[in-house]
Amino acid sequence: MTNIVMLNNVDHQALRVVTTRAARYGDNVMTCATYPAEFRDIQAHYPIVFHKLADGSYEPVALLGFQEGENLFLGPQGWEVNYVPLAIERLPFLIGRNGEELNIHIDLDNPRLSREEGEALFLAYGGVTPYLERVTSMLKSIHEGLQDVPDFIAALREHDLLESFVADIELEDGSQNRLYGFHTINEDKLYKLPGAALESLNREGHLLSIYMVLASMSNFRDLIERKQRAVNANA
C-alpha cells in the first residue's frame, strides 16, 4: 500500500526518515531502475540489464538478486557495498507534479518513516535540513536522468543491439537457479556496426553508456558468489 502526498513543513514537521538499510524497510528487492547518467556508479557493483515492460518498451535496471524479494547486497550490517542505487536511496520520497510544477512527494505508509528516530526533514524554526537538501538534489538527478532513457533505448533498438538471455547457475549443493526475462546488449552486433553508426552513437552520448552496460556484466561473478554465501548461511 502507498499513501503518497506532497511534502510540506506543516503536516510533516515532525517526520523523520530511518536511513538504515534492511529488508524490514523494503530494501529486499531483486532489481531497481537506473539510467545512463548513473551507469558509471552502478557498473562498479551491479549487473545492468534491461527489463521489457508490458507496453513493449524497455527499462535499464540494476540486478540485485536472482529471484523476487532477494537482495544479495543486504547483510546483517546493512548494505554491503559503498554505492546504493539512487532509486532505492531516495525512498520514501518521489517527484510528483502539482500542475506544471515539480514537487517532492512522500509515501506516508513507507516503513522508513518515524517520529522517534532517523533523519529530520525540517528545522525547528523553519527551513529544511541538510538531509532533505540532499534528497532534493537526488530526486532532481533521478528526474533528469530518466529523461535520457527513451532516447538510449531507441538507439539500442534502432541498431538491434538488445537480445534476451538466460543464465543458469548451479551452486555447490547442486541446486539450479535460472535467471530469465531480461535483455542485454549483443556484443557481436555492436562490434559489427559500421563506423558511421558508432560515430552516431558516440555523438549522441550513447556509446559510453553501452560500454558501461557491457562492463557491468562482470559483476555476475560477484552476484553468484553472494548467492552461494547466502545459501551456505541458511543451510
Mean pLDDT of the chain: 93
Q: What confidence score (pLDDT) does residue 162 get?
A: 97
> pLDDT digit string (tens) for 59-76?
999 999 999 999 999 998
> pLDDT digit string (tens) for 186-233?
999 999 999 999 999 999 999 999 999 999 999 999 999 999 888 888
Give the residue among 206, 197, 224, 208 at the shortest CA–CA distance from 152.
Answer: 206
Give the residue among 151, 38, 126 at the shortest CA–CA distance from 88.
Answer: 38
Give CA–CA dist 146/150, Å, rounded.
8
CA dihedral (173, 49, 218, 89) positive or negative: negative
Count CB atoms within 10 A of the CB of residue 105: 18
DSSP per residue over 153-200, as a string?
A: HHHHHHTT-EEEEEEEEE-TTS-EEEEEEEEEE-HHHHHTS-HHHHHH
Are the CB atoms for 49 and 167 separated by under 8 Å? no
Task: Return the SS3 of 128.
Answer: strand
Amino acid found at 95: I
Are the CB atoms for 46 and 62 separated by under 8 Å? yes
Mean pLDDT lowest among 83-87, 101-105, 114-118: 101-105
Pairing assessment for the beta strands 16-17 and 119-120 based on DSSP bridges: antiparallel
pLDDT band at 235 (very low <50, low <70, confident <90, very high): low
Give CA–CA dist 165/163, Å, rounded.
7
Q: What confidence score (pLDDT) does residue 63 get?
A: 97
Predicted model pTM = 0.93
pLDDT at 234 over 80: no
> pLDDT digit string (tens) for 159-182?
999 999 988 887 777 777 788 889
